[in-house]
Amino acid sequence: MLKDRFGRTVDYLRLSVTDRCDFRCIYCMAEEMAFLPRAEILSLEELQRVARVFVELGVRRIRLTGGEPLVRPGLARLAGWLSAIPGLDELNLTTNGARLPAQAADLKAAGLSRINISLDSLDAGRFRALTRTGNLDDVLAGIEAARAEAFSRIKLNTVVLRGRNDDELEDLLQFALARDLDISFIEEMPLGQMDTRDRGEAFMSSQSIRERLADTVQLVPAATSSAGPSRYWQVPGHQSRIGFISPHSENFCASCNRVRLTVEGRLLLCLGNEHSVDLKTVMRANPDDDAPLASAIVDAMAIKPERHHFSHEPEEQLVRFMNMTGG
Ligand code: SAM
Ligand code: SF4
């Protein structure tokens, strides 16, 4: 088992398969982005290798993320390899959904269990403004494609930005309820330097989001909770679980069970800190021996920070963007 020095067990890996994306969401990326050259990123075989070693060390759930995972050629092939690793309980995916109409069936056949799809607005013009390049109809078709494949759970992720989509929270909730989808409302996190906007101005706490929703629906705490940072609520008479991810206002670090691997093979021990270990160099230096890689992962647990210290102060923002982090 992977244990850190605060007694937390790490059994969840978020595996970034690309830093690239077909969208440019305003809270995630700058308008002009430089992406990694191909030689710098892990091959599909290397991603499979490192995932297998994590599972051998006790990881039970893997989430494929990015960047946009569906732009990585061979994603379904990789998903098939990963879901076949003995000991892995769940293989999940976070996506912007736009390419799901073409890929949902292959991903289901490859053994993927759950899908999270990002959806910040139901208004096409506003959706385009928030994503800079995204097309709402593609994403709505992607959600339908995922529903048609009957993944074990589908969850919508909505980053809430005051003045940009906070007047749509009720509509987004009703959209999820009508389709038995889960939905999580996320506070924006200060990852990457934004020169075009002030994150603090758009901040909305989970508490105020919940209060806003409670004006129109009854919210009761859900009986089941997840191991993740979401706290879940339900509307009586509906299946959907409604989550609130509150990195600012309700610190969830004490129960953190996860680490992230960037597509360049950097193991990030915390979303909100720079502590990391370069696993790519270890892997490439020992192509036929997994022992050094396993040792590097075990040793990395010693530098997992106790907590993040997110703040809206510009000088305290991390330089790393979310697409590089594996959100
Ligand atoms: N491209 C995929 C997608 O959009 O779902 C997967 C990667 S994306 C980085 C993962 C999640 O992080 C998305 O739900 C996105 O909305 C969220 N995200 C990105 N930047 C964020 C930020 N600065 N604060 C909070 N959430 C963010
Ligand atoms: Fe792309 Fe996801 Fe980032 Fe949006 S949030 S730019 S879809 S990686």
pLDDT at res. 274: 77
- Does the beta carbon of 263 lie inside 6 Å of ligand 2? no
The packing angle between helices 124-131 and 136-148, to 10°, is 100
Distance from Cα 10 to the centre of ligand 2, integer Å: 25
7 pLDDT tier (thresholds 50, 70, 90) = very high
pLDDT at res. 187: 87
CA-CA distances (angstroms) from residue 176 to 130, 180, 262? 20, 6, 30
Cα 4 from Cα 304, distance rounded (Å): 7
Percent of the chain with pLDDT over 70: 87
8 A C-beta contact, residue 172 and residue 156: yes
- Does the beta carbon of 21 lie inside 6 Å of ligand 1? yes
pLDDT in tens, 51-98: 999 999 999 999 999 999 999 999 999 999 999 999 999 999 999 999
- Average pLDDT over the chain, rounded to whole? 90
Percent of the chain with pLDDT over 90: 71
Cα 17 from Cα 50, distance rounded (Å): 12
Residue 188 one-letter amino acid: E
Give 51 or 30, the one with higher predicted confidence: 51
pLDDT in tens, 202-261: 788 888 999 999 999 999 998 776 656 567 899 999 999 999 987 766 667 888 889 999
Side-chain-facing half-sphere of 139: CA atoms under 13 Å: 24
Nearest CA to ligand 2 atom 8: 67
pLDDT at res. 275: 82
Distance from Cα 238 to the centre of ligand 2, integer Å: 29
Nearest CA to ligand 1 atom 13: 118
Asked whether the CA dihedral 302, 304, 307, 311 is positive or negative, the reply is positive
Q: Tell me the backbone φ, ψ of residue 106, rounded to 5 degrees.
A: -65, -40
Record the pTM.
0.93
pLDDT at res. 230: 62
pLDDT at res. 223: 79
User: b/e map of 169-193 (b: 16 or more CB within 10 Å)?
Assistant: beebbebbbeeebbbbbbbbbbbbe
Cα 294 from Cα 50, distance rounded (Å): 9
323 pLDDT tier (thresholds 50, 70, 90) = low
Nearest to 270 by CA among 61, 71, 22, 10: 10
User: b/e map of 298-313 (b: 16 or more CB within 10 Å)?
Assistant: eebbeebbeebebeee
- Does the beta carbon of 157 lie inside 6 Å of ligand 1? yes
Is a pLDDT exceeding 60 seen at residue 318?
Answer: no
Is a pLDDT exceeding 80 seen at residue 322?
Answer: no
Is a pLDDT exceeding 60 seen at residue 313?
Answer: no
Residue 186, helix vs strand vs coil: strand
For the CA of 247, the nearest atom of ligand 1: 25
325 pLDDT tier (thresholds 50, 70, 90) = low
Distance from Cα 96 to the centre of ligand 2, integer Å: 7
- Does the beta carbon of 234 lie inside 6 Å of ligand 1? no
Residue 292, helix vs strand vs coil: helix
Cβ-Cβ contacts under 8 Å for 174 (sequence gap 6 or more): none
Superfamily of domain 2-325: Aldolase class I (3.20.20.70)
Element (H, E) at 291: helix 291-300
For the CA of 117, the nearest atom of ligand 1: 5
Query: What is the CB neighbour count within 10 angstroms for residue 196?
Result: 7
Asked whether the CA dihedral 64, 179, 144, 163 is positive or negative, the reply is negative
Q: Which two tokens stand for residue 198?
A: 């002030």
pLDDT at res. 198: 66
- Does the beta carbon of 184 lie inside 6 Å of ligand 1? no
Q: Which two tokens stand for residue 33?
A: 């982005």
DSSP summary character for residue 157: E
Ramachandran class of 163: left when φ > 0, alpha when ψ lies in -120 to 50, beta otherwise: left
Cα 140 from Cα 216, distance rounded (Å): 24
- 206 exposure class (CB count in 10 Å sphere: 0-12, 13-18, 19+): buried
pLDDT at res. 228: 60
197 pLDDT tier (thresholds 50, 70, 90) = low
